[in-house]
Amino acid sequence: MRFLQLILAVLVLLDLPACRQLSAALLTQGNHDYQKSDYARAIQDYNGAIRLDPTSDRAWNDRGVGGMASTAAGRWMHRHPGSASWT
Protein backbone atom coordinates (compact mmCIF):
# COMPACT_ATOMS: atom_id res chain seq x y z
CA MET A 1 0.00 0.00 0.00
CA ARG A 2 2.86 2.36 0.82
CA PHE A 3 4.34 1.74 -2.62
CA LEU A 4 1.07 2.66 -4.32
CA GLN A 5 0.88 5.88 -2.32
CA LEU A 6 4.42 6.75 -3.41
CA ILE A 7 3.57 6.13 -7.06
CA LEU A 8 0.45 8.28 -6.73
CA ALA A 9 2.46 11.07 -5.13
CA VAL A 10 5.01 11.00 -7.96
CA LEU A 11 2.24 11.10 -10.58
CA VAL A 12 0.67 14.10 -8.88
CA LEU A 13 3.99 15.90 -8.69
CA LEU A 14 4.65 15.26 -12.37
CA ASP A 15 1.10 16.35 -13.26
CA LEU A 16 0.76 13.59 -15.82
CA PRO A 17 -2.48 13.25 -17.80
CA ALA A 18 -2.65 9.74 -16.34
CA CYS A 19 -3.58 11.31 -13.01
CA ARG A 20 -6.98 12.36 -14.31
CA GLN A 21 -7.54 8.95 -15.87
CA LEU A 22 -6.60 7.17 -12.66
CA SER A 23 -8.78 9.58 -10.70
CA ALA A 24 -11.72 8.75 -12.99
CA ALA A 25 -11.05 5.04 -12.49
CA LEU A 26 -11.09 5.50 -8.71
CA LEU A 27 -14.39 7.40 -8.99
CA THR A 28 -15.87 4.53 -10.98
CA GLN A 29 -14.65 2.02 -8.41
CA GLY A 30 -15.98 4.22 -5.60
CA ASN A 31 -19.39 4.37 -7.23
CA HIS A 32 -19.36 0.59 -7.62
CA ASP A 33 -18.52 0.20 -3.92
CA TYR A 34 -21.22 2.72 -3.01
CA GLN A 35 -23.84 0.72 -4.96
CA LYS A 36 -22.80 -2.36 -2.94
CA SER A 37 -23.29 -0.29 0.27
CA ASP A 38 -19.57 -0.56 1.05
CA TYR A 39 -19.37 3.08 2.07
CA ALA A 40 -16.01 2.91 3.85
CA ARG A 41 -14.29 1.51 0.75
CA ALA A 42 -16.11 3.99 -1.48
CA ILE A 43 -14.84 6.88 0.65
CA GLN A 44 -11.29 5.52 0.37
CA ASP A 45 -11.65 5.43 -3.41
CA TYR A 46 -13.02 8.97 -3.49
CA ASN A 47 -10.17 10.16 -1.27
CA GLY A 48 -7.68 8.60 -3.69
CA ALA A 49 -9.39 10.36 -6.60
CA ILE A 50 -9.18 13.67 -4.73
CA ARG A 51 -5.46 13.15 -4.04
CA LEU A 52 -4.88 12.66 -7.75
CA ASP A 53 -7.13 15.48 -8.90
CA PRO A 54 -8.04 17.92 -6.11
CA THR A 55 -9.99 20.05 -8.62
CA SER A 56 -12.49 17.26 -9.34
CA ASP A 57 -15.88 18.52 -8.19
CA ARG A 58 -17.34 15.07 -8.82
CA ALA A 59 -14.83 13.41 -6.46
CA TRP A 60 -15.54 15.91 -3.68
CA ASN A 61 -19.29 15.56 -4.17
CA ASP A 62 -19.23 11.76 -4.25
CA ARG A 63 -17.08 11.66 -1.11
CA GLY A 64 -19.63 13.85 0.67
CA VAL A 65 -22.50 11.64 -0.44
CA GLY A 66 -20.56 8.53 0.61
CA GLY A 67 -19.78 10.07 3.97
CA MET A 68 -23.41 10.99 4.54
CA ALA A 69 -24.54 7.50 3.53
CA SER A 70 -22.16 5.97 6.06
CA THR A 71 -24.02 7.64 8.95
CA ALA A 72 -27.10 6.13 10.57
CA ALA A 73 -29.32 8.91 9.23
CA GLY A 74 -27.85 8.49 5.76
CA ARG A 75 -28.44 4.73 5.78
CA TRP A 76 -32.05 5.32 6.82
CA MET A 77 -32.56 7.84 4.02
CA HIS A 78 -30.94 5.45 1.52
CA ARG A 79 -33.43 2.72 2.50
CA HIS A 80 -36.37 5.15 2.47
CA PRO A 81 -35.90 7.43 -0.54
CA GLY A 82 -38.33 10.32 -0.77
CA SER A 83 -39.37 10.07 2.87
CA ALA A 84 -37.27 13.01 4.03
CA SER A 85 -37.07 16.49 2.63
CA TRP A 86 -34.12 18.87 2.78
CA THR A 87 -36.36 21.93 2.52
| DSSP, res 86 | -
Percent helix, strand, coil in the chain, to 5, is 75, 0, 25
- Write down the CATH superfamily of domain 17-72: Tetratricopeptide repeat domain (1.25.40.10)
How is the chain split into domains, by residue range? 17-72
pLDDT by 10s per residue, the chain, length 87? 577 777 777 666 666 677 788 888 899 999 999 889 888 899 999 999 998 888 888 999 988 888 777 776 666 666 766 665 554
Q: What is the pLDDT of residue 29?
A: 92
Three-state secondary structure call for residue 30: helix
Locate all alpha helices (DSSP H) within 36-56, ordered by sequence: 39-52
Q: Measured at the alpha carbon of residue 44, what is the angle toward residues 43 and 49, in degrees to the nearest 5?
A: 95
- At 32 the pLDDT is 93
